[in-house]
Amino acid sequence: MIQERKIRYAFAILFLIVVTGTVGYHLIEGWSILESFYATIVTLGTVGYGDYYPRSMEGRLFAIFLIVFGVGAMAYTFALAMEYFLEGRLSQIFGRGKLERQIKKMNGHYIICGFGKMGCLICRELSREGIEFVVIENDPAVILEIAEEEFFYIKGSAAEDKTLIDAGVERAKGIVCALPTDAHNLYVILAAKEKNPDIFVLSRSEDDASEHRLMKVGADRVMSPYKEGAMRMVMAILKPDMLDFIELTTQRQSLELRMEELTVCDNSAPVGKTLEESGLRQKYGLIVVAVKKESGKMIFNPAASYIIEKMDKLIALGEEKNLADFSEICQA
């Protein structure tokens, strides 16, 4: 960020020197604007063709001033430019403004804090699902990896309020705290909830004590990669077929059978109908495994006579196309 500001300032100073030289020659020597601009470039370039040169004492003093300050500024600017060009950074600098404008247009997106192994996998899955997100990362080497993945990102610390604001925390739907330490995740949760009390917060944790603290400060859900990984390994030993079924229905690679969460909007067709009347089973071939009420209550294996209410979340199992078709009806 500091280097980017340096090159911008260098170009700005060089531009001001060119403008000053052009105006100065025009006023002092009486040359036209084009002739003055040409003389300025010749002076800064130290070419010295001799076709235009100051004849008055004032013009010569002005030329000395221009040479002393302008030639140095030009050399410094082009040295910086070559350095950035060799590092492949020029495109990054000039493309940064476009990236920031695109992030500012985002609404209802997710913020991923940290692009470690976990953060990277989360971003790839969200990208496959077509969900908008922004990554916050401070490590320059990791930033290059994010750029190669063509993900939107903000360079900075997620623990800083300005960085969260730049990532659109006030407009975001959710934030994932995947930083390496629980202390950093805790601070991000506090800052995010302060800026947006309604934001959904998912955080990783290292131990049970940290899980309690993270929930207490505002995390909506806390997951331990070690605990989750251990549970799946135990299931692979004791109940391998069940694990195969879970992986088959939850991974996007499986197009035959998927498990999805379908939210029923206020005025959609299924509201007020029973599961049987909605055609879930007969028309779409879907199985409702559970229903999560707006209050948070979970109803497992609901009966065919269950009446669908607005904002119910149906946990349904079926083919991807049928799930997508019924999801459109729920959103209509």
Q: What is the pLDDT of residues 138-165, one digit of tens each?
A: 998 999 899 889 899 999 999 889 999 9
Indicate the class that CATH gives domain 2-86: mainly alpha
Exposure on the CB side of residue 318, measured as CA atoms within 13 A: 22
Q: Would you give the end-to-end CA distance of the chain in angstroms?
A: 45
313-326 pLDDT, tens digit each: 999 988 888 888 89
What residue ranges do the domains of the chain occupy? Answer: 2-86, 106-228, 256-331
Do 205 and 226 contact (CB within 8 A), yes or no? Answer: no
Distances (CA, A) of 289 to 6, 260, 273: 58, 10, 17
Task: Reply yes or no on whether the pLDDT at 107 is more than 90.
Answer: yes
170-228 pLDDT, tens digit each: 999 999 999 989 999 999 999 999 999 999 999 999 887 888 889 999 999 999 888 88
What is the 3-state secondary structure of 143-189?
A: HHHHHHHCCCEEECCCCCHHHHHHCCCCCCCEEEECCCCHHHHHHHH
Do 118 and 179 contact (CB within 8 A), yes or no? Answer: no
Closest C-alpha among 281, 293, 270, 275 to residue 319: 281
Q: Give the CATH fold of the 106-228 domain.
A: Rossmann fold (3.40.50)
How high does pLDDT run on average in the chain?
A: 85
Q: What is the pTM of this model?
A: 0.62
- Helix (H) or strand (E) run with residue 190 in it: helix 182-195
Q: What type of residue sits at position 160?
A: E
Pair type for strands 174-177 and 153-155? unpaired
pLDDT at 44: 80
Q: Which tokens go with 47?
A: 């070419």
111 — pLDDT class (breaks 50, 70, 90): very high
Domain 256-331 has CATH 3.30.70.890: no
